[in-house]
């Protein structure tokens, strides 16, 4: 029998035939990790928390800023004024509207060195990150341990999502064998519509509910993309692993081993060097993208970008020196925001 309290809070969800009382109990017992609590991550966290997923582990390296509030619905002006870590702010907000579930905030940068610890005991992962570097790491980890995970991204008016069921469907490396090269569009440079965020997060959260209640036959087996501004949409088949895939075929987990990750070192006083290679940058294009965010100048050899209190020096091969911090997580975050990764 479902409890009266459970029946009252989730009554409309229990009435939905695809979930019912049995499914609701499965949700209450579920443990899920959300890696990244920015636009898509915070929307997914809110939806799953309201749906009654019993334990949410939220992992994020960043803090709340005023520019987040346009699309990150879990946060408010007080969080931004206090520069609260997003994982902490999310846990507090969720506790205010659903105190029955457990939220485990982890203020951390997910890396090959700590991923096993941060995701210990979690059988299902959702992607709320903003870069391919971390997504490939998640893919390697999940595939190596046969854990389902959902890739989700949004930028501009565009959203995309993919369900990965290791051994059954294509993984991220099946669809994207290599990371995109050069500078990528990011929310900082291309902007983002909150409607695109909420649509793709809603789709991903619904797919998660299907998996958590045992409705695996209803799970979408395509890479789904759409543009809410142009009304264009597309699906790419992902029902089966790609023969010869590096990750799920050859079991080559190079990102989990740290091989696909830019080397990061402290560089002089109060600066960090990101040794990204083999992603040639067009300085003229980068200058136009960065102008709205600070002072930019470049020659044939380097591009200088000043965004208080930081100074970023970019080199033609993608390498960067970021002055104003000795925190490698901050440096990686700035690089992901303005250059993409």
Residue boundaries of the structural domains of the chain: 4-237, 263-338
* Residue 7 pLDDT > 70: no
Model pLDDT for residues 88-131, shown as the tens digit of each residue: 999 999 999 999 999 999 988 888 989 999 999 999 999 999 88
Task: Identify how many contiguous H helices and E strands the chain contains and give both numbers.
Answer: 13, 14
For residues 51-63, give the mean pLDDT.
93
Distance CA 201, CA 71 (A): 12
Q: How far is CA 90 from CA 45, 49, 87, 94, 176, in A?
A: 8, 10, 5, 6, 31
Length of the chain measured in residues: 341
For residues 193-202, give the mean pLDDT.
97
Task: Please tell me the least confidently modeled range out of 78-87, 105-114, 270-279.
Answer: 270-279
* Residue 1 pLDDT > 50: no
* Residue 278 pLDDT > 80: no
3-state SS, residue 325: coil
Distance CA 155, CA 144 (A): 29
The contacts of residue 81 (CB under 8 Å, 6+ apart) are none
Burial of 292 (0-12, 13-18, 19+ CB in 10 A): exposed
To 10 degrees, what angle do helices 20-29 and 194-213 make?
100
Q: How far is CA 235 from CA 58, 148, 160, 223, 224, in A?
A: 29, 20, 10, 5, 5
Kindly state the percentage of the chain with pLDDT values over 90. 69
* Residue 141 pLDDT > 70: yes
The two structure tokens encoding residue 237:
């088949």
- Measuring CA to CA, which residue among 102, 104, 98, 45 is closest to residue 72? 45
pLDDT for the residue 132: 87
CATH class, domain 4-237, is alpha beta
- Measuring CA to CA, which residue among 265, 180, 191 is closest to residue 229? 191
The mean predicted confidence, pLDDT, of the chain is: 91
Reduced 3-state DSSP string for 56-112: EEEEECCECCHHHHHCCCCCCHHHHHCCCEHHHHHHHHHHHHCCCCEEEEEECCCCC
* Residue 26 pLDDT > 80: yes
Selected residue with higher pLDDT from 313 and 209: 209
For residues 304-321, give the mean pLDDT.
88
Task: Please tell me the least confidently modeled range out of 9-18, 249-258, 308-317.
Answer: 308-317
pLDDT for the residue 279: 75
* Residue 3 pLDDT > 60: no
pLDDT for the residue 183: 65
Sheet holding 271-275, edge to edge: 263-266, 271-275, 320-323, 310-314, 303-307, 295-298
pLDDT band at residue 274 using 50, 70 and 90 as cut-offs: confident
pLDDT for the residue 118: 97
Distance CA 151, CA 227 (A): 17
Cβ–Cβ < 8 Å for 124, 31:
yes
Model pLDDT for residues 247-256, shown as the tens digit of each residue: 999 999 999 9
């Amino acid at each position: 029998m479902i409890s009266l309290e459970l029946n009252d809070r989730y009554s409309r969800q229990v009435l939905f035939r695809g979930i019912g009382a049995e499914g609701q109990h499965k949700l209450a017992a579920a443990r899920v990790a959300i890696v990244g609590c920015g636009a898509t991550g915070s929307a997914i966290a809110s939806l799953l928390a309201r749906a009654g997923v019993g334990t949410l582990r939220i992992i994020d390296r960043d803090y709340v800023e005023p520019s987040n509030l346009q699309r990150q619905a879990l946060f408010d002006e007080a969080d931004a004024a206090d520069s609260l870590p997003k994982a902490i702010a999310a846990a507090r907000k969720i506790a205010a509207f659903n105190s029955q579930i457990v939220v485990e905030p982890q203020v951390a940068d997910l890396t090959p060195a700590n991923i096993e610890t941060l995701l210990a005991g979690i059988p299902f992962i959702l992607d709320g990150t903003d870069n391919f570097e971390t997504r490939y790491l998640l893919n390697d980890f999940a595939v190596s341990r046969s854990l389902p995970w959902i890739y989700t991204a949004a930028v501009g008016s565009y959203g995309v999502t993919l369900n990965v069921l290791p051994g059954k469907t294509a993984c991220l490396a099946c669809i994207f064998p290599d990371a995109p090269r050069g500078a990528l569009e990011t929310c900082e440079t291309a902007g983002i519509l909150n409607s695109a965020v909420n649509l793709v997060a809603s789709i991903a959260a619904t797919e998660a509910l299907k998996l958590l209640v045992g409705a695996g036959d209803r799970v979408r087996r395509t890479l789904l993309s759409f543009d809410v501004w142009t009304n264009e949409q597309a699906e790419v088949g992902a029902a089966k692993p790609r023969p010869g895939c590096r990750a799920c075929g050859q079991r080559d987990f190079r990102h989990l081993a740290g091989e696909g990750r830019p080397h990061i070192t402290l560089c002089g006083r109060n600066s960090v060097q990101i040794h990204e290679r083999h992603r040639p940058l067009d300085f003229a294009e980068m200058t136009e993208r960065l102008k709205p965010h600070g002072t930019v100048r470049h020659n044939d050899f380097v591009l200088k970008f000043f965004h208080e209190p930081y100074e970023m020096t970019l080199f033609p091969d993608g390498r960067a020196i970021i002055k104003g911090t000795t925190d490698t997580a901050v440096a990686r975050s700035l690089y992901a925001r303005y250059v993409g990764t």
